[in-house]
């Protein structure tokens, strides 16, 4: 059933890509995601990888589609977003390792299928896709591999796709060159979470034996990504560094023995995914008004855009694990994960979180505080109805998860 729906999603995306009107393509994309939402609610398997996984990914995809800036609403791009959203949602609706891994691999195809905007190279995504897919294919196809090797290969492939350092430069280019909404959706959906959860269920013994080296990698990678954020000089690079820091923290929780780390990783995935998309949309809203290059140097937006400033603080506080947010609850659970080096790795995770907080505060201070920038900022257009709808939906979902993080299970 799931593979049939996946084929229908791919076929529907191809129809969207061939429409001539952007409005028609957008309507077709939303209808396709709506149909998939009906499937997830009515005919989905009784034991999905994550109960809230498919609906949350569909919400992220719909918001990203609706928030597209006009210059990026080509039918081919809408089709790519739709297909990626549908396939990633299905990875969370499945539970069998082979099915989840197959959908994980297929969800890479839309990014390779459609041509990017003129002047934007596909090479970084191609390299990332090949590097991530190779260990997963070997783990599934190579006969006679011991369970430890299979788990290690799956964990490496998942980590590469999430952009865990040292592979973060391959995803950072997407934050610099692509629309942030799209880049944030791809990062926030994180089908690698479903892959690792399915692998844990199918291969419980190797998780214990391989935990120490994988936790060491994840903890040190989180600290390195946090330092990248501290060194970033633009909102896009800062956001990308925060996202890769959180990817490493997610990896730490998912490769840890026991249930505490996994529970924390799931709470982190949901809350941080929503916040990442929200931050991407806020930055895009600023860029659409003042231009991409000027947005990197714009100051004093708190006066002309208080709503965007408030939403930025909400999303960024979640990303940096501020108390009272899902980021704080999830990280607290991740810190409780079993480990043979509790002091070293927990110190590294705390340091990465502190660096994320510093990056968030600096981003906010640079864009929203200080004297008003160029004269054009004085006439900064108010938040539009479309932006209110998309950002409001994300903010409501973030607030709901902050009140009831146990919804993610």
Look up residue 211 and give its two tokens. 């935990």
Token couple for 167: 């592979």
Q: What is the pLDDT of residue 210?
A: 92
- The pLDDT score that the predictor gives to residue 213 is 94
d(CA 125, CA 37): 28
- Which stretches in the chain have pLDDT values below 70? 40-47, 68-73, 114-122, 178-187, 372-379, 409
- CA-to-CA distance for 369 and 362, rounded, in angstroms? 10
Handedness of CA 27, 315, 279, 127 (dihedral sign): negative
Q: Is the dihedral of CA 249, 254, 258, 262 positive or negative?
A: positive
Tell me, what's the pLDDT at 375?
Answer: 54
For the chain, the structural domain boundaries read 1-113, 204-407
pTM of the model: 0.91
C-alpha to C-alpha distances, 149 to 138, 152, 360, nearest whole angstrom: 10, 5, 38
The residue assigned the tokens 């084929």 is 7
CA-wise closest residue to 325 among 287, 367, 268: 268
- Is 299 in a helix, a strand, or coil? coil
């Amino acid at each position: 059933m799931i593979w049939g729906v996946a084929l229908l999603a791919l076929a529907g995306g191809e129809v969207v890509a061939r429409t001539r009107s952007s409005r028609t393509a957008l309507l077709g994309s939303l209808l396709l995601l709506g149909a998939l939402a009906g499937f997830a609610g009515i005919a989905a398997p009784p034991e999905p990888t994550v109960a809230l996984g498919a609906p949350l990914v569909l919400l992220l995809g719909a918001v990203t589609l609706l928030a597209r800036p006009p210059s990026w609403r080509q039918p081919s791009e809408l089709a790519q977003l739709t297909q990626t959203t549908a396939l990633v949602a299905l990875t969370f609706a499945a539970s069998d390792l082979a099915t989840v891994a197959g959908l994980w691999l297929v969800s890479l195809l839309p990014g390779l299928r459609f041509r990017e905007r003129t002047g934007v190279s596909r090479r970084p995504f191609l390299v990332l896709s090949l590097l991530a897919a190779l260990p997963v294919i070997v783990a599934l196809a190579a006969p006679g591999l011991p369970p430890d090797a299979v788990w290690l290969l799956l964990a490496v492939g998942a980590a590469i796709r999430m952009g865990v350092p040292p592979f973060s430069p391959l995803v950072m280019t997407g934050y610099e060159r692509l629309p942030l909404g799209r880049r944030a959706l791809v990062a926030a959906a994180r089908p690698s979470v479903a892959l690792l959860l399915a692998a844990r269920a199918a291969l419980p013994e190797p998780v214990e034996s391989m935990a120490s080296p994988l936790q060491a990698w994840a903890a040190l990678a989180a600290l390195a990504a946090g330092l990248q954020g501290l060194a970033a000089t633009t909102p896009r690079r800062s956001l990308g560094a925060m996202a890769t820091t959180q990817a490493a923290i997610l990896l730490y929780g998912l490769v840890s023995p026991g249930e505490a780390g996994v529970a924390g990783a799931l709470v982190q995935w949901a809350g941080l995914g929503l916040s990442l998309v929200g931050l991407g949309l806020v930055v895009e809203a600023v860029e659409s008004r003042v231009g991409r290059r000027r947005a990197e140097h714009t100051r004093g937006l708190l006066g002309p855009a208080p709503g965007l400033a408030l939403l930025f603080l909400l999303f960024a506080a979640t990303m940096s694990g501020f108390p009272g947010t899902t980021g704080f609850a999830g990280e607290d659970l991740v810190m409780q994960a079993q480990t043979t080096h509790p002091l070293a790795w927990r110190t590294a995770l705390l340091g990465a979180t502190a660096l994320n907080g510093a990056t968030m505060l600096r981003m906010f201070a640079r864009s929203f505080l200080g004297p008003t920038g160029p004269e054009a900022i004085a006439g900064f257009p108010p938040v539009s109805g479309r932006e209110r709808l998309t950002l409001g939906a994300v903010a409501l979902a973030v607030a709901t998860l902050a009140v009831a993080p146990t919804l993610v299970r």
